[in-house]
Structure 1
Amino acid sequence: MNKLLAGKRLLITGAARGLGLDFAQAACAAGAQVVMADILDELVEQEAGALVEQGFDAVAVRLDLADPESIKAVAAFSAARFGEVDGLVNCGAIATGIGGPDMCELEIDTWDRVMTVNVRGTWLMSRAMVPHLAASTAGKIVNIASDTALWGAPRLMAYVASKGAVISMSRSMARELGAQNICVNTVCPGLTLVEATAYVPRERHEHYINGRAIQREQMPEDVTGSVLYLLSDLASFVTGQTLAVNGGFVCN
């Protein structure tokens, strides 16, 4: 891979596994220095260590997106590590089970937990990083939402609502942070073959495949290029945008 992100200093949340880990690995390969944050502290330490062994500049830190103090600590850690931070990827999130309870059966506690992590956590992590992104003079925030919020996936309401909020919030953030030369964009992956989707019923995978313009499974590498682009200098005049990366299941 070329060095699209050479010299870039990034914080990636949800980086212990799944798409977050793939983003961290791809960013390192593209020349970036990366702080990998996740609540799965032992796993993220292991994955960061594997990247260091390959000669990349990666370090792990524990992050609990439900805890405002943890968020502040990770922002301070990243700033201390780099001085300035060029990019933030908000990938950390939780989901309720696809095909689970419908809107009338959904527990209030589940709704509140998903909103706390996925929406408030994304907001607070972004807010904590704004001073450090502004100092870089070309800061980038990439928020990872989901194409479920674009087509209204059933029996997944808390997650869908949270990702819809992330999409809308990103547009508002782009308006507010543009004066500080910070670009804010959203990537909406489709159903991707990662650890976090291992529980998804096969019929849902088939529903996606059959509905795509490109009719095949979606792999992590189908998403990473879009995120790297939005973090790069090539996207310095791209902000407030929502990019659906799902093989044409949703044409946004």
Structure 2
Amino acid sequence: MHKLLAGKRLLITGAARGLGLAFADAACAAGAKVVMADILVEQVLAEAASLAAQGQMAHGVALDLADPDSITHCANEAARLLGGLDGLVNCGAIATGIGGVDMLELDMAVWDRVMQVNVRGSWLMTRAVVPHLKAAGAGKVVNIASDTALWGAPRLMAYVASKGALLAMTRSMARELGEYNICVNAVSPGLTLVEATAYVPAARHQHYIDGRAINRPQLPEDVNGTVLYLLSDLASFVTGQNLPVNGGFVCN
């Protein structure tokens, strides 16, 4: 049976845990060769080793999205390990410990740090990967945004603004990279049960569940299929789009 991502060479950031790890696991199961990158170096190396022990082609690489040199090294190392690149998932981001205060109390240092990692880091990561995608003759970039940018979640403005910027960047990147047969799309998950959301108050989780057309908690596995589709040849004429995956909490 043909696997959806058979032979695809992918770099997935933020892959030490949570959604990024789920994407890496699902991509490997779909036949891809994967480099998993994260600032949590020991953890991402361990997770990659675990997948490799199961017979998957997975490697772990250190990545600090606040450091341009680290980003460049990560992209080049991923291409070296895999013999090139066919796709990138920009999942790495700061999400933990930056909510709970309103815009009047938001610290400027927090704002700057979130923008540095979530926005600039995603731009620089994509820029570093583009030469490898061009060399492959085509490519896929999937930016992991958030439905918070679609409904304006309160007391989380730095994160919401960063994900809104990522959505705008997705459209601009798609316009600029289309001539190289590189598709750029975004996926906007809802509040998902992962380590990064463990600190979110139970009332916010329940708010999401109550507001969804499908009234249940969201799991990482709920997002995998959409990401795999956008990385696959099935989505080769889909670009500049945002696909909310949130059980109907926000509907386009």
Q: Alignment partner of 1:188: what SS?
A: strand
In the alignment, which residue of structure 1 is the partner of 2:85? 85
Query: Considering only aligned residues, what root-mean-square deviation do their CA atoms show, in Å?
Result: 1.1
The amino acid that maps onto 2:181 is N
Output aligned runs, 1:110-149, within 5 Å. Answer: 110-149=110-149
How many residues matched? Answer: 252
2:8 is the alignment partner of 1:8: yes
Q: Distance in 1 between matches of 2:97 and 2:203?
A: 14
In the alignment, which residue of structure 1 is the partner of 2:57? 57
Q: Distance in 2 between matches of 1:196 and 1:205?
A: 13
In the alignment, which residue of structure 2 is the partner of 1:220? 220
- In 1, are the aligned partners of 2:96 and 2:199 still within 8 Å (CA)? no
Q: Distance in 2 between matches of 1:113 and 1:231?
A: 29
Please, what TM-score do these two structures have when normalized by structure 1?
A: 0.98
Q: Distance in 2 between matches of 1:195 and 1:95?
A: 10
Residue 171 of structure 1: how far off its partner (Å): 0.2
2:190 is the alignment partner of 1:190: yes
In the alignment, which residue of structure 2 is the partner of 1:28? 28
The amino acid that maps onto 1:67 is D
In the alignment, which residue of structure 2 is the partner of 1:173? 173
Residue 83 of structure 1: how far off its partner (Å): 2.8
Q: Distance in 2 between matches of 1:11 and 1:23?
A: 10
- In 2, are the aligned partners of 1:133 and 1:139 still within 8 Å (CA)? yes
Structure 2: where are the runs of 5+ without partners? none
Q: Distance in 1 between matches of 2:97 and 2:206?
A: 17
Q: Alignment partner of 1:121: what SS?
A: helix
- In 2, are the aligned partners of 1:96 and 1:158 still within 8 Å (CA)? no
- In 2, are the aligned partners of 1:98 and 1:155 still within 8 Å (CA)? no
Residue 80 of structure 1: how far off its partner (Å): 1.2
Residue by residue, what CA displacement relative to the aligned partner does 1:23-58 show, whole Å, maximum 9, x if unpaired?
000000000000000000000010001001100000
Please, what TM-score do these two structures have when normalized by structure 2?
A: 0.98
- In 2, are the aligned partners of 1:51 and 1:58 still within 8 Å (CA)? yes
- In 2, are the aligned partners of 1:97 and 1:156 still within 8 Å (CA)? no
